[in-house]
Amino acid sequence: MSDTQPGLQRLVVVSNRLPVALKKVDDAWAVKQGAGGLVTAMAPVLKNRGGAWIGWAGASSDPDMDVDGLLSDFCSDAGYDLATVPLTKQEVDDYYFGFSNEIIWPLFHDLQTRCRFHPRYWRAYLDVNFKFAEVVARKSTPDDYIWVQDYHLMHQAFFLKSMGVKRNTGFFLHIPFPPPDIFMKLPWRWKVIQALTEYDLVGFQTVQDRRNFMGCLQRLMPEAKAEGRGAVVTVTVGNRRFRLGAFPISIDYNQFSGLAKRPEVAQQAFDVKEALRHRKIILGVDRLDYTKGIPERIQSFHTLLRRYPDMVGKVNFIQIAVPSREEVDEYKELRQEIEQLVGRVNGEFSFPGWVPVHYHYRSLPHEELVAYYSAADIGLVTPLRDGMNLVAKEYCACNNSGSGVLVLSEFAGAAAQLQKHAYLVNPYDMEGIAKALHRALHWGRDERKASMLKLREQVRKNNIFWWVDSFLQAGISKKLDDFPEIET
């Protein structure tokens, strides 16, 4: 490991998803913005530093598809190199939809009853990881820093080593790491843990995730020992030594806050409020995913209207959901469930001039999303479990007036950092959320401002560039003296 400063090594980011995805629209290929927190977080990092991003183009390879041609416009503007890993339909089905989305995603979010542990998924996961590692070996040099993102690609360091390719490697997990009782259900638990020990640095969103990992490691490899204090520790297991750290991911605060200040975006925010006749606005923004607690959130709003008649006609709930993993049956069913719940609340409470729930099922342009954030009186972020949840941070960054309230699930990684000044709720407790909403809607202006100011300060300081620097410093430098506990 060299003692190079974090700024000097070329960064090679490796993730399943690239910032853009190819999608077939009316028999023609179109280039769409990739969805989700990983893309939101990593795109400004690479734009700022340059380097390379290796990933899958989002569609199974097709002989007629000219991937490089389709992505050429994006590549010439991006400011970094893009390399794609082509995957067949069978690989996409078994590695991405299967292993990643039907095993690791539910298991790591504590929803084990949704897991389908098919051995064929595991084999596809290994084959695809090997395929990715071959591209990484070809597209990088020994001087590069290889930064692997998320649960789809936990075996990159393992395969690079098995090919005899020497690289400085770091891995960051964007989703939670489960406690031992849950992780132990994974039939391939030993191989996954062992593969993670092959990285030079493994990063998690929270200290709790890091502890969960250490607990699993010690159950499977009792000789493993951790030394050090603070956000980053050094682990020894057999003849391996590597680092483990907690690095809460974040957003480009200035970009969100600056956009919200632009006159045309402020106008859009005003238009949203005016269209709703300046009633209070509660806002939910999510990928449409069963971990996000959207049905429970709609039911909580329903409870608010039933329990507190003073709220009827006075408040709107806007839920914006970006389509995600649409090919998967559970996501199709969730979409139907949400539509039915929205219909039920609106059917029971609407009257001429007031429809309580506004539901948008689409990806919004960045400016429009920011306009909604700045128009909202309450950001309602209630995932059942979440690695971090960037929406919570985006809401605070866009709230330049400082008058909004963040109502946040205690099971989102973001709660570890924002708990002191957000209104924390249990996302399963619909009566509790209704009560919290009622209270938050009655908070005085000074109280709201004081809390939002602190929240914004926390997100501003610990922004995405702070996150990159902290991770790379832990990955590249020899000294670990500069790693205090994570600030809350």
Q: Which residues are catalytic?
A: 174, 386
In the complex with ligand F6P, the residue whose CB is nearer, 9 or 324, is 324
Question: Is the distance from CB of 428 to CB of 384 less than 8 angstroms?
Answer: yes
Q: Tell me: does residue 393 bind ligand F6P (CB under 6 A).
A: no
Q: Residue 322 binds which entry of ligand F6P, ligand ADP, none, with Cβ cut-offs from 5 to 8 Å by kind?
A: ligand ADP
Binding ligand ADP by CB under 6 A: which of 394, 437, 440, 472? 394
Using DSSP, state whether 107 is helix, strand or coil.
helix
* Nearest distance from C-beta of residue 116 to ligand F6P, angstroms: 16
Q: Among residues 109, 131, 287, 325, which is the contact residue for ligand ADP, using CB under 6 A?
A: 287
Q: Does 285 sit near ligand ADP (CB under 6 A)? A: yes
Show the beta-strand stretches assigned E in 173-330: 201-204, 225-227, 232-237, 240-246, 280-287, 315-322
With CA atoms as reference, report the closest residue to 426 among 458, 483, 382. 382
User: Taking CB under 6 A as the rule, does residue 413 contact ligand F6P?
Assistant: no
Task: Work out whether 399 is an interface residue with ligand F6P (CB under 6 A).
Answer: no
Indicate the Cα dihedral angle 107, 125, 202, 419, nearest 10°.
-30
Which secondary-structure segment (H or E) carries 41?
helix 37-49
Pairing state between β 145-149 and 81-84: unpaired
Is the Cβ of residue 102 or residue 150 nearer to ligand F6P in the bound state? 150
**Which tokens sit at 325?**
């993993």
**Residue 168 beta carbon to ligand ADP: minimum distance, rounded to whole angstroms:** 26
Using alpha carbons, select from 41, 78, 468, 470 the residue that is nearest to residue 255.
41
In a 3-state reduction of DSSP, which class is residue 63? coil
Taking CB atoms, the residue at the shortest distance from ligand ADP is: 37
β-partners of residue 408 are 381, 424
Does residue 346 touch ligand ADP according to CB under 6 A?
no
User: Does 456 help bind ligand F6P (rule: CB under 6 A)?
Assistant: no
Total site size for ligand ADP, rule CB under 6 A: 17
Stretch that binds ligand F6P, among 34-42, 127-135, 219-227, 396-404 (CB under 6 A): 34-42
Q: Does 176 bind ligand ADP (CB under 6 A)?
A: no
Tell me the C-alpha distance between 19 and 56, whole Å.
Answer: 10
> Given candidates 369, 380, 455, 459, which one binds ligand ADP under the rule CB under 6 A?
369
290-312 CB burial, b ≥16 within 10 A, e <16: bbbbbbbbbbbbbbbbeebeebe
Identify which of residues 14 and 369 has a Cβ nearer to ligand ADP in the complex.
369
Q: Is 65 helix (H, G, I), strand (E, B) or coil?
A: coil
Phi, psi of 55 (to 5 degrees): -170, -175
Minimum distance of ligand F6P from residue 245's CB (angstroms): 18
Mark 275-314 with x for binding to ligand F6P (rule: CB under 6 A) and - for no binding: ------------x---------------------------
Which residue of 103, 146, 154, 175 would you call a contact of ligand F6P, by CB under 6 A? 175
Pick one of ligand ADP, ligand F6P, none as the site partner of residue 40 (Cβ within 5 to 8 A by kind). Answer: ligand ADP
Residue 14 found at the interface with ligand F6P (CB under 6 A)? no
CB contact at 8 A, 100 and 87: no
User: Are 360 and 321 contacting, i.e. CB atoms less than 8 angstroms apart?
Assistant: yes
325 binding partner (options ligand ADP, ligand F6P, none; Cβ < 5 to 8 Å by kind)? ligand F6P
**Residues contacting residue 474 through CB under 8 Å, at least 6 positions apart:** 201, 203, 231, 232, 243, 245, 247, 480, 483
Relative to beta strand 280-287, strand 240-246 is unpaired
Q: How far is the CB of 259 from ligand F6P (least distance, A)?
A: 21
Cβ neighbour number for residue 125 with a 10 Å cutoff = 26
- Classify 4 as helix, strand or coil: coil
Do residues 245 and 204 make contact, with C-beta atoms less than 8 angstroms apart? yes
Among 107, 322, 338, 416, binds ligand ADP (CB under 6 A): 322
- Among 231, 123, 134, which Cα is nearest to 187's? 123
- Residue span binding ligand F6P (CB under 6 A) among the ranges 33-41, 42-50, 227-235, 437-445: 33-41
Residue among 193 and 390 whose Cβ is closer to ligand ADP: 390
Determine, following the binding rule CB under 6 A, whether residue 363 of this chain makes contact with ligand ADP.
Answer: yes
Q: For residue 122, with 0-12 CB atoms within 10 Å meaning exposed, 13-18 middle and 19 or more buried, which class applies? A: buried
Which one of ligand F6P, ligand ADP, none interacts with residue 198, CB within 5 to 8 A by kind? Answer: none
In the list 148, 320, 341, 405, the residue contacting ligand ADP (rule: CB under 6 A) is 320
Which region among 139-147, 260-268, 297-305, 362-370 touches ligand ADP (by CB under 6 A)? Answer: 362-370
Of residues 11, 13, 38, 231, which one binds ligand F6P by CB under 6 A? Answer: 38
Among 156, 205, 324, 382, the residue binding ligand F6P under the rule CB under 6 A is 324
CA–CA gap between residue 146 and residue 137 (Å, rounded): 10
Q: Is 150 in the site for ligand F6P (CB under 6 A)?
A: yes
Residues that bind ligand ADP (CB under 6 A): 35-37, 40, 285-287, 320, 322, 363-364, 369, 388-391, 394
Q: Which residues bind ligand F6P (CB under 6 A)?
A: 17, 35-38, 150, 174-175, 287, 324-325
